[in-house]
Amino acid sequence: MRQSSLVVVANRLPIDDSVAPDGACEWRRSPGGLVSALHPLLRHTPATWVGWAGGTGPAPTLPDVDGVRMRTVPLTPDDLRDHYEGFANATLWPLYHDAVEQPQHHRRWWEAYQRVNRRFAETAAEVAEPGAVVWVQDYHLHLVPGLLRALRPDLRIGFFLHVPFPPPELFMQLPRRAELLRGMLGADLVGFQRAQAAHNFAQLVAKVLHLPATDRRIGIDDRVVRIGAFPVSIDTAEMAALAARPDVAARAARLRQDLGRPEHVILSVDRMDYTKGIEQRLKAYSELLVSGHVKVRDTVLVQVAVPSRERVGQYQILRERVEREVGRINGEFGRVGEPAIHYLTQPFDRAELAALYRVADVMAVTPLRDGMNLVAKEYVAARVDDTGALLLSEFAGSAAELPQAYLVNPHDLEGLKEGLLAALHAAPADVRERMRAMRAHLREHDIRAWARSYLSALDQTGALVDRLTTPGDAPVAVPTQPDRSAVRADRRAGG
């Protein structure tokens, strides 16, 4: 068995399966945020990615993807139902997002979560060479660092949480709170999107496990676990280059013509998730139509809502509510050939998404809670002419990095309406100044800066980052401690 000096452990492998024209199964690199973050780095060292390939049954044997080895972890139908749909996405996900929906608790879900986490840990232990770095990703795998340390104490283990980490009063609701915290403390470095999340974690460790803890360091056994904020970003240059392509610009022009050449185009791109604030956004837009502040002929809303976790009951109910509201608004305010809302539920490829970003005069990103939300950053990167207004929720992690956006509280309907109108009617000079500042920030704080800052903090010798640095990349200055003044990250609509 081949072993690697760097192992990434994530719920999903960085590939999508699709059926080729001849009926064969085809594997390719997927466009998800985590993959885009790590791919430029992983191809420069013997790396293995451990994850689930999708579906149930025996784990398929997969070829390397761009030089990265794929090691699959199998899930049974019971694992999929109880670990993924159950504990991960019906217990932890709502709890970590302010309990927007009530978290559910079932003992068999916890048993499945333990079982699957152990399977991931055992697989990682097999493929990691002596002294390797193992980087565990996200809320599906909280227990893996602790299990892996018990199996392979020689490893350097990192854990990064891509979603928000809740305040103590919410996390304390979990029946298995101590086990989850201990699992995370198996890591040498625990990274979060925001400094507040690191603070919440330290408070919980002190309260639940009675360990000495600060917002930077936690003592456990004979070790020190370091914690900090490492806000995720995007490949800024890649999105800017894509948006600047002549075919993408031409596609954007056609899209605007297809929309009836309105004066204003508002765009939202979300996963269909109750944390994304889709219903609140639709209600605000509907009330602006009722008051006459927005007119269908002048303004068009394009709402992309990609289906997600469709086997989970809460998501099925949400989709029905959203579709019913879109139908009501279009029925009351639309005209023949002029709907008030263009509602799309299919996923888009990167070029089509970049064209949509170029069309949008206002990008409305108004989640109720989000770890980062990379859609906001992608929109900014795509505005290569420095135009476009970003309407952004205060409760997205990206708000701390992009204060020049039009910030709103999505729970405040009147404030949401006022923010939307402010973005729609802002002076061009103001819009340009804000966009230039946000684009300058993203050029400096891109995805490579994020990955290098985290891995430098994890492997303090600097050897790993030196090995992973692309020869053509500009060097990135990495602080010895995580930067706590900036706050960044989440996933795109597909995440």
Domain ranges of the chain: 4-229, 236-444
Residue 369 has pLDDT above 80, yes or no: yes
Residue 489 has pLDDT above 60, yes or no: no
Contacts of 94 (CB under 8 A, 6+ apart): 100, 101, 102, 103, 274, 314
Kindly report the CATH number that applies to the domain delimited by 4-229.
Answer: 3.40.50.2000
Rounded to an integer, the average pLDDT of 113-128 is 98
Q: Quick one: pLDDT at residue 26?
A: 54
Rounded to an integer, the average pLDDT of 155-172 is 96
Q: Is 4-229's fold the same as 236-444's?
A: yes
User: How many other CB atoms are there within 10 angstroms of residue 245's CB atom?
Assistant: 13
CATH of 236-444, one of 3.40.50.2000, 3.40.50.1390, 2.60.40.1510, 3.30.565.10: 3.40.50.2000
Catalogue the E-assigned strands of 118-188: 128-137, 156-160
> CA–CA distance from 155 to each of 116, 146, 456, 482 (Å)?
21, 12, 16, 22
Lowest model confidence (mean pLDDT) among 231-240, 292-301, 443-452, 457-466: 457-466
490 pLDDT band, cuts 50/70/90, is very low
Lowest model confidence (mean pLDDT) among 198-207, 239-248, 463-472: 463-472
Tell me the backbone φ, ψ of residue 465, rounded to 5 degrees: -65, -35
Per DSSP, the three-state class of 112 is helix
User: How many other CB atoms are there within 10 angstroms of residue 473's CB atom?
Assistant: 12
**Model-level pTM greater than 0.75?**
yes
Instruction: Give catalytic residues, as residue numbers.
Output: 162, 370
Rounded to an integer, the average pLDDT of 371-375 is 93
